[in-house]
Amino acid sequence: MSLSISAQLRQNFYANSCSNVEAIVRGEVAKKFSQTFVTVPATLRLFFHDCFVQGCDASVMIASTGSNKAEKDHPDNLSLAGDGFDTVIKAKAAVDAVPSCRNKVSCADILALATRDVIAMSGGPSYAVELGRLDGLSSTAASVNGKLPHPTFNLNQLNSLFAANGLSQTDMIALSAAHTLGFSHCDKFSNRIYNFSRQNAVDPTLNKDYATQLQQMCPRNVDPRIAINMDPNTPRTFDNVYFQNLQKGQGLFTSDQVLFTDTRSRPTVDAWASNSQAFNQAFITAMSKLGRLGVKTGRNGNIRRNCAAFN
């Protein structure tokens, strides 16, 4: 990623064109948040899934057409909750309803702002968002292949995927803590509670009581759409309890628990489990780096009138 691109991002990018864009977006996000808490994890996850595939350009929001299967229809994106898309679409409509702002603000920037807002609304840190992204001009399901982390990943796989995006192990551990919010589905971790290996039906790194609980919530032939909280203790609060859970063997995915079981990442987990301020700071740093990925400027992008379709 060239520095010239990220240098074009700046905090007051819309000062002259749409000066109250942040307040407009925040107002819409707050409205949506009051309707359903899913707004929070759905928006945060949408931002991550967008940025890791072709950069933060809202390409994940494009709807498929007869001639193009878009990013959102790749298997890795089918579990993105509709509330994230809806949050951005409603905020975009509110921004475009202000005559001076119409067609001035990208869907990519609105998604970045909405993500910051949902984190703050659920108890997390607030931070200044750099703006100036354009919306991407392509979105294909094929482009998603191998770009997103899987629940079964070990530390080497996580580190190399994040390193490919210029993110360090520390950034990766901080961003993994997004799993302090929201939910997953039984089929994403059933291997850990029923057929882990020849020697162990249950993953030995799982807390035994927690494993029993998960088996009760996810019996063998359960509807795979049953939702299970990622954080069994404070699922609606953005906090460092995620790391305390890992210390107790309560990471839902292999890719969560490995952050504690692997001695290379454990010191960071331990540090943040006891120091929420240090974690919040690392999270802000990681989110800012994430938001600079593959930013489109100039002829490489435009401002979409409809976030779900190319102009």
Per-residue pLDDT averaged across 239-268, rounded?
98
- The full set of domain ranges for the chain reads 20-148, 155-289
Over the stretch 30-79, which tens digit does the pLDDT of each residue have? Answer: 999 999 999 999 999 999 999 999 999 999 999 999 999 999 999 999 99
% of the chain surpassing 70 pLDDT: 98
Res 2 pLDDT > 60: no
Question: If you average pLDDT over residues 11-28, what whole number do you get?
Answer: 96
Decide: helix, strand or coil at residue 195: coil
| pLDDT confidence of residue 78 | 94
Instruction: Consult the annotation and say whether 53 binds a ligand.
Output: yes
The answer to whether residue 225 scores a pLDDT higher than 90 is no
The answer on whether 265 is annotated among ligand-binding residues is no
In this prediction, residues 275-300 reach a mean pLDDT of 96
Question: What pLDDT is stored for residue 3 in this prediction?
Answer: 44
Q: Angle 252-257-179 (CA atoms, 0-180°, nearest 5)?
A: 50
Q: Which CATH code fits 20-148?
A: 1.10.520.10
* Ordered alpha helix ranges (H), 77-152: 82-96, 107-121
Listing DSSP states for 81-102 in one string gives -HHHHHHHHHHHHHHHTSGGGT
* Confidence class for position 121, pLDDT limits 50, 70, 90: very high
* pLDDT above 90 coverage of the chain, percent: 94
49 labelled catalytic? yes
Task: Give kind and range of the element (H or E) at residue 30.
Answer: helix 21-35
Segment 120-149 mean pLDDT: 97
To the question of whether residue 219 is assigned a binding role by annotation, the answer is no
pLDDT band at 1 (very low <50, low <70, confident <90, very high): very low
What pLDDT shows up at residue 6? 53
CA 306 from centre of chain? 22
| pLDDT for the residue numbered 24 | 98
pLDDT tens across 74-93, in order?
999 999 999 999 999 999 99
Domain 155-289 -> CATH class: mainly alpha
Q: Is 55 annotated as a binding residue?
A: yes
234 marked ligand binding residue: yes
Please check if 109 is assigned to a binding site.
no
| Residue in 49, 74, 150, 185 annotated catalytic | 49
- Answer yes or no: is pLDDT of 139 > 90: yes
Which tokens is 232 given? 């069994």
pLDDT tens readout for residues 186-221: 999 999 999 999 999 999 999 999 999 999 999 998
Closest CA to 290 of 196, 152, 182, 149: 149
Q: How is residue 47 written in tokens?
A: 């931002």
Ligand-binding site membership of 239 (annotated): yes
What pLDDT does residue 87 have? 98
Q: What is the pLDDT of residue 224?
A: 79
Ligand-binding site membership of 171 (annotated): no
Average pLDDT, the chain: 95
Q: What is the pLDDT of residues 152-189, one digit of tens each?
A: 999 999 999 999 999 999 999 999 999 999 999 999 99
Q: Give Cβ neighbours of residue 272 (< 8 Å, ≥ 6 apart).
A: 173, 174, 177, 240, 243, 278, 279, 282
What residue type is 22 in one-letter code? E
E strands, 83-226, are 135-136, 183-185
* Pairwise CA distance, residues 76 & 56, whole Å: 17
Using CB atoms within 10 A of its CB, is residue 299 exposed (0-12), middle (13-18) or buried (19+)?
exposed
